[in-house]
Amino acid sequence: MRQIKQFGLIAALAVLLSGCSIFVKEEITYKLLQPIDAKVQPKVVWKANVGNGVRHYFSHLNPVVVGDTLVAADRDGIVMAIDRNTGKTQWRLDLRSEIGQQASTWWRKGEPFRIAGGLTAADGIVYLGTENGDLVALEAATGAIKWHQSIRAEVLSDPAVGGGMVYITGATGEVLALDQATGEPLWRNTTETPSLSLRGTASPTYAQGGVFVGTAGGKLIVLVAENGQPAWETRLAIPTGTTELHRLVDVDTQPIISGRVVYAVAYNGALVSIDAASGQIIWRRDYSSYQNLLHVSGRLFLTDVEDSVSALDAQGGIEIWSNNDYTGRHLTAPVRFKDYIVVGDRHGYLHFINILTGVTEGRLEVGDDVYTAPVVADDTLYVQLRDGTLLAVRM
């Protein structure tokens, strides 16, 4: 299961069990890959490396495409721009030396910079956040630091940009807005956070003058982008069960806006379609997930907590197909690549699933853990591995 923000309970349980001389060995099980009738042959066209990757830490740190450039980072503080057609490095920046004493007071010289939120690009600027409470804006063309702000909030998810502001979600429930041009803090809204929640936060979505964001308490809320005041909130999940672990109901996925409809999903909750103006639920289906949704041509695609990949009709929520071949393999969120839904897994594979039938028709072994969803641009799929390797994949 995902890492959890509060480790005290887990440690107490471990002490309790060992004190009673009861030792429980967790058996890690996952489905072995079965032969497929391959219809496509994906291949790696170039390979590059960005620092030390994210190693064993929880992270969804992802590369981002800006024109003909791919910008990527590692957890330690290395940020690089790579020609996305050739894989050649355009510039390289070490934030530990560039920002130095301007960094958050939580950071100490010689330590990793702990980049965990982002990357997000808008108007030629790349935004990233750190576990130390830093938010940094970089010029995508040169790597020059446009501004840096210490916000005293752990950033684990992608910032959102819109309406002249940058919006981020802090690990303890804060939603913050900063001026896009200067990084000046403009407003902060704090949501209720339970004592135990999943390690991770929902990336906000800016649309229609509002900031849509999921909370650790199982809600989807909308804040007025101009001032951060609440507009409405809708509950996706209600805590149930006798233990704190069973009562986890985080909405850790980024809301999807399509016209006047918002789609969101909760852990131990539901996948819902919501009226964006009123917050009224249009339909609700029993799915549990902490991976981002994908909306393509009137269909929703999701990876659930059991590592099943499903397709649903977005208008009515009716399931079209579900692929259950990858239980326990820790799949990423789905992305669309040509006529396929692509997911990566912890064991170093990309799986190409037919978008219409749900049948796997392609597979590529890439080596290390594919810990975050690939990025698609034109005819290329870009994949960042846990060890910092960057791959460009084409069919």
Is 338 a domain residue?
yes
Buried b / exposed e over 236-264, threshold 16 CB at 10 Å, is bbeeeeeeeeebbbbbbbbbbbeeebbbb
pLDDT of residue 287: 94
* Across 263-287, average pLDDT: 93
**Overall domain count for the chain:** 1
* Residues 209 and 162 sit within 8 Å (Cβ to Cβ): no
d(CA 129, CA 166) in angstroms, rounded, equals 11
270: in domain: no
Considering the domain boundaries, does residue 373 fall inside one? yes
Kindly tell me if the per-residue pLDDT of 211 is higher than 70. yes
If pLDDT is split at 50, 70 and 90, which confidence band does 265 have?
A: very high
Q: What is the CATH number of the domain that holds 360?
A: 2.130.10.10
What are the φ/ψ torsions at residue 34 (nearest 5 degrees)? Answer: -100, 155
Q: What pLDDT is recorded for position 10?
A: 38
Residue 347 lies in a domain: yes
Residue 106 pLDDT level (bands cut at 50, 70, 90): low
pLDDT at 100: 61
**pLDDT tens-digit readout, 121-137:** 999 999 999 999 999 99
What is the reported pLDDT for 245?
60
The reported pTM is 0.89
Environment class of 68 (CB within 10 Å of its CB; exposed 0-12, middle 13-18, buried 19+): exposed
Which structural domain range is residue 338 located in?
31-53+293-395
Span 20-27, average pLDDT: 39
The mean pLDDT value for 20-43 works out to 75
For 340-356, what is each residue's pLDDT tens digit?
999 999 999 999 999 99
Give the pLDDT confidence score for residue 314 in this predicted structure. Answer: 97
Residue 393 lies in a domain: yes
Q: What is the mean pLDDT of residues 215-236?
A: 92
The Cα–Cα gap between 105 and 82 comes to: 31
